[in-house]
Structure 1
Amino acid sequence: MKKFKQILLDINELIVFKHSVFALPFIFVAMITASKIQNNTMWFGIKLFILGVFCAVSARNFAMAFNRYMDEDIDRLNPRCANRPSVDGRIGRKNLIIFIISNACIFVLVAYFINDLAFWLSFPILIILGGYSIFKRFSQIAHIILGFCLGLAPIAGAVAISGEIPLWSALLCCGVSFWVGGFDILYSLQDMEYDKKAGLFSIPSIYGSAASMFISGLFHIIAILFWLLFCWAAQLGYIAYLGVMISALILYLEHRIVKKDFSKIDKAFFTLNGYLGIMFFCFIFLDLFL
């Protein structure tokens, strides 16, 4: 029992399950929005709720584990990452491969039980989710690729309910993509010097901290604009727009914290962005409810 518990703890450390708070709120934003538009009710049923959770979790497990597998050579030499389970031997490479394949199969299987479009989209989605690990070795657009990986969540949510990709879900996807890409640039400031030595193509390692702060801020302005367009395209009310404005305030505070003290990047990365995702969902839910 103790060994099993330790395995679960190692897996949790590997995939950082708490970071699911970034994607899960947006898949459910899309699901309740699509259901309200299509069925005039936010509740889409227990079956789709369970399938949606399994899809989101298995896709994220696959992406995180694949990234850890591909990055072992990079992480091993990075002091910040050297104690990860994929590096220090707690989770061997064979077990990591089994975990990656298992979650990929679960994701495809669950998508099959949702609808045909979800099933056929599951294959290119897995390729995109794995793409981030490759892109950061040769292109600085890896930040936006990572953002797009999470941005797929609202598209998946809309497809699960309506069997199509409506305009508003694509706009929400773009907003999430630039939001995540922006805070990933800030997060990469921690590894700026190491990335330079390792020859990785993060924006901080190429352009420096000041330019990275500017690019991140630009990404977040674009994210807010796309979220406003999402509210317009989905014909949401003033409460939804208020939620977007509060999101803008949170992002502004995030940039102030990071600019003042790089040692607080973790706080800005997880705490504020975690609150943003949950808050965004709550405001959309309230808007649709009223």
Structure 2
Amino acid sequence: MGMETIQSKAAQGRVADAPNGHWVYRVLPRSIWPYAQLARWDRPIGWQLLLWPCWWSAALAASAYPRPGDPLLSLLPAPLYLVLFLVGAIAMRGAGCTYNDLVDEDIDSQVERTRSRPLPSGKATRRRAWLFLVLQALVGLVVLIQFNSFAVLLGICSLAVIAIYPFMKRITNWPQLVLGLAFSWGALMGWAVEFDDLDGPAVMLYIGSILWVIGYDTIYAHQDKEDDAIVGVRSTARLFGDNTKAWLAGLYGGALICFAIAFASAQAPVVALAGLIAAGAH
């Protein structure tokens, strides 16, 4: 992205890497933009990546251990659970991004792509950002308490991982691993909601999802690796360097193996394995 484009977007009240023509900038009042940017409403890919493990797990749990003659509809996840996971993913991804921006304000101010974000640019105050974070977290809590007590406790446990993630890039070359622990939590939640406990298939799905997250976030981290080296931010992108392609092949291959073990141990229908093969080919 050229300097002229970055400056023009900043002048328009948008962050440097904001997508053009997004509904946030066409529909919402300009005064709301900083909060939409804190929650990354203009970049839905984040909540989608958080949502997928939830839906995978819900689908795996619903179809696990089928009995002969079970109707197809009985092997599908409850629509209510899918909607709750959707709302929860949007809310908690927004809360997580807001928290990350609060912790990383000093780093963001030194990186070209992120210095136009609401906090380092002064478009939002820290106090209001914290309030916005709490509001989003409350939405997530309302979603969480719709589930059984085991799932509620499990969801609360994820907050510990979320809390430490923004600090990991300062102390380890593997912050993507911690992100994987957080962003893959839904792989445990879907199963817990269905069975009120955890079992081997959910654990294998979780491990596979962690490998998947490390892979895609390593790719994402490559865009900032020059600035990261200057400000001291660590990442798997910097760690892997020229060997990134080999690492990605191993990570994604490992993810597919873990998914296959999860599906097989849950005795998932053949159609699920066919979907896995299609995903691997993609």
For normalisation by structure 1, the TM-score amounts to 0.76
Residue from 27, 32, 40 that aligns with 2:59: 32
**Which ranges in structure 1 are unaligned for 5 or more consecutive residues?**
251-290
Question: Tell me, what secondary structure is at the counterpart of 2:123?
Answer: coil
Alignment-derived partner of residue 245 in structure 2? 213
Q: Which residue of 2 aligns with 1:12?
A: 36
Change (3 A) 1:230 1:76: same
Q: Which stretch shows the higher mean deviation, 217-226 or 230-239? A: 230-239
1:197 matches 2:224: no
Residue pair 1:51, 1:114 contacting (<8 A) in 2 also? no
Structure 2 gap ranges (5+): 1-25
Letter of the 1:11 counterpart: Y
Q: Check whether the contact 2:60–2:263 (CA below 8 A) recurs between aligned residues.
A: no
* Aligned match of 1:255: none
* Structure with the larger helix share: 1
Cα distance in 2 for residues equivalent to 1:211 and 1:122: 35
CA contact (8 A) 2:64 2:268 kept: no
Q: 1:93 offset after TM fit, Å?
A: 1.2
Partner of 2:8: none
TM-score relative to the length of structure 2? 0.78
**What residue identity is the alignment partner of 1:243?**
G
Cα offset, 1:35, TM superposition: 2.6
Percent pairwise identity: 19
Give structure 1 regions of 4+ aligned residues with deviation exceeding 6 angstroms.
none
Residue 141 of structure 1: CA displacement?
A: 1.9
* Cα root mean square deviation, aligned: 2.4
Greater radius of gyration (CA): 2
Q: Given the superposition, is the C-alpha separation of residues 82 and 52 from structure 1 closer, same or farther in structure 2, using an over 3 Å criterion?
A: same
What is the identity, as a one-letter code, of the residue corresponding to 1:223? Answer: A
Moved more, 13-22 or 174-183: 13-22
**Does the Cα contact within 8 Å between 2:38 and 2:94 map onto a contact in 1?**
no
Counterpart position of 1:154: 187
Aligned length: 248
What is the 5 A alignment of 1:1-290? Answer: 5-17=29-41, 18-19=44-45, 20-37=47-64, 41-43=74-76, 45=78, 47-207=80-240, 209-250=241-282
Distance 2:161 2:49 in 1: 18
Shift of 1:42: 4.1
Residue type of the partner of 2:243?
Answer: A
Change (3 A) 1:244 1:8: farther
Shift in CA distance, 43/212, structure 1 to aligned 2, threshold 3 Å:
closer
- Residue deviations 1:204-260 (CA, integer Å, cap 9, x gap): 3345x212332233211211111111221221233322322232233xxxxxxxxxx
The whole-number CA distance in structure 2 between the counterparts of 1:237 and 1:44 is 14
